[in-house]
Amino acid sequence: MAKYKLEYIWLDGTPSMQNLRSKTKIEENFSGKLEDLPLWSFDGSSTGQASGGASDCILQPVAVYPDPQRKNGYLVMCEVLNADMTPHLSNARSTIKDDDNDFWFGFEQEYFLWNPDTNKPVGFPLNGYPAPQGPYYCSVGTSKAFGREIIEEHLDVCLDAGLNVEGINAEVAAGQWEFQIFAKGAKEAGDQIWVARYLLERIGEKYGVGINWTCKPLGDTDWNGSGMHANFSNTVLRTAGSKDVYDKICSEFGNYIQEHIAVYGPDNHLRLTGKHETAAIDQFSYGVSDRGASIRIPVATVQRGWKGWLEDRRPNSAADPYKVAARIIETVKGVKI
């Protein structure tokens, strides 16, 4: 009888940015279907999610993908539940109010490949900096694109796992890259981002390279930070046909600046400075094709007669896509059209 390696993946209780955790369950003759995955448990006292005296937390499988890196393997994304089967406090996925999958999300996940020996991005010399940014965005060549073998392998395994990656590119800073994932349904989009992050971390182990998700790893320098721009739409945005509708929705975001910033990733004040293609953290703006605004209205949306999507440029690379999606959905649903 065939035996299958099921990698149960979950988010721990680390404040600010939760870490990925995982462990392997061996099952015979697994069908590959979500409904056939059993619940499992783990020691929450070792992940910041329970006390030692009542340490059991429950793993509820919510998505399953083939694991291209393991024979007879599957990647199992899980929600964390308390022992009484209620959602754990760290379980942001359970707060998403999108049961009909009306909301579509496309996340642009930026990150740095990090050299642990120099504590700098790959491509950076031991002392000082490489040439100023400008030639690295969407670049090719050994003096401009660094770590391509890693991101190419990551793209392949993501596609083999069935993740809906829609593109990759080198980003503005040296050693900085991006992948984009789109899904119809906020929960599925979040699941796929987390699994893609997991696969990238695991590939990094192979190459001895770290993945730096922090939003401004190079500090107060003239190097871009990393974002996780959130492109989103629902039926209203996809069919509006009216600039007024877009103005109402965008303006509503301006009423909840702090509520959004609170879940848009740690240390965002370091990134949202009004420089390097960002808006200031304490201000709100929107505009057509404006990458310096809080929310960009894509020119394609206007060209289609105000039928399309919006891009919130404020979420950073370390943000939890579940929390980002939940807050965006709440704001959009609060608009009276």
Exposure b/e, 290-327, CB count within 10 A at least 16 = b:
beebbbbbeeebeeeebbbbbbbbbbbbbbbbbbbbbb
What pLDDT score was predicted for residue 194?
A: 98
What pLDDT score was predicted for residue 247?
A: 98
What pLDDT score was predicted for residue 16?
A: 86
Whether the domain at 3-95 and the domain at 104-333 fall into the same CATH topology: no
CA distances from 138 to 1, 144, 182, 231 (A): 48, 9, 20, 20
CA distances from 25 to 55, 59, 159, 185 (A): 19, 12, 23, 28
List 211's β-bridge partners, or say none: 113
> Strand 20-28 and strand 120-121: pairing?
unpaired
CATH code, residues 3-95: 3.10.20.70
Token pair recorded at residue 146 = 């660094």
What is residue 93's DSSP assignment? G
The residues spanned by each domain of the chain are 3-95, 104-333
Supply the pTM of this predicted model: 0.97
What CATH architecture does domain 104-333 belong to? 2-Layer Sandwich (3.30)
The answer to whether the CB of 68 falls within 8 A of the CB of 161 is: yes
What pLDDT score was predicted for residue 177?
A: 98
Given a cut of 50, the residues of the chain with pLDDT beneath it are none
What pLDDT score was predicted for residue 292?
A: 94
Token pair recorded at residue 300 = 């394609």
* pLDDT tens-digit map of 218-260: 998 999 999 999 999 999 999 999 999 999 999 999 999 999 9
